[in-house]
Amino acid sequence: MLVVVSLVVAVMTVWEMVIYPAHYAVTALLSTVQVIAVLLIPVMPYPMGCIGCLAMLIAMLIPDPSGASMLLGTWECLFCIGYRSKHIANLVWPAAVIAIRLWFSLNLRLQTDAYLFLLALFLLCYAGGALLKQRQAIIRSEHDALLCKASRATHRIRAPLHERRIVDP
């Protein structure tokens, strides 16, 4: 599933790069870096998620409003960071993305209230990945508990049979 999502996101970002070409070569380079990171997410989710987010963060600091928006790739990267996150310190990623995008919108004099939904999506993507990870951990622990219970029940059934064979040669 992640392979399909990564392919769709990469194709849509490349399409956006073609429709809205960047004025600066560095902006096009950073968009390309994010596309490559998105394509490699199925192989290495956490590091490629970080690289994809970092590419977007650097691109937002360049005063070039042209080029791909890099939104889809950033959403996928944040989801993967949230899913693979082991520490609360990884909340730095969505916080940095939100801060940079807010700064970017204020510099372009966009309506902040309309932009807040977009900013919330960054946090929701990270939270969605973290919640999916927690859900899978709960399912895994319930599955392990059922296996342990089944193993104990099997052991209780086999133990008396084994004892009878030893007593009655």
Q: How confident is the model over 57-79, as pLDDT tens digits?
A: 999 988 887 888 899 999 999 99
57: helix, strand or coil: helix
Is residue 25 a contact partner of residue 64, using CB atoms and an 8 Å limit? no
Is residue 106 a contact partner of residue 94, using CB atoms and an 8 Å limit? no
Phi, psi dihedral angles at 3 (to 5 degrees): -65, -45
Q: How far is CA 107 from the centre of its chain?
A: 28
The helix (H) or strand (E) run that includes residue 110 is none
Tell me the mean pLDDT in the region 82-97. 90
Q: What is the pTM of this model?
A: 0.81
How far is 48 from 39, CA to CA, in rounded Å?
9
Of 10-24, 61-75, 106-120, 154-168, the least confident: 154-168
What DSSP state is assigned to residue 85? -
Tell me the mean pLDDT in the region 159-164. 56
How far is 88 from 100, CA to CA, in rounded Å?
20
Q: In the structure encoding, which two tokens stand for residue 72, read together?
A: 């889809």
Cα–Cα distances (Å) from 74 to 58, 71, 107, 147, 150, in that order, read: 12, 5, 20, 39, 44
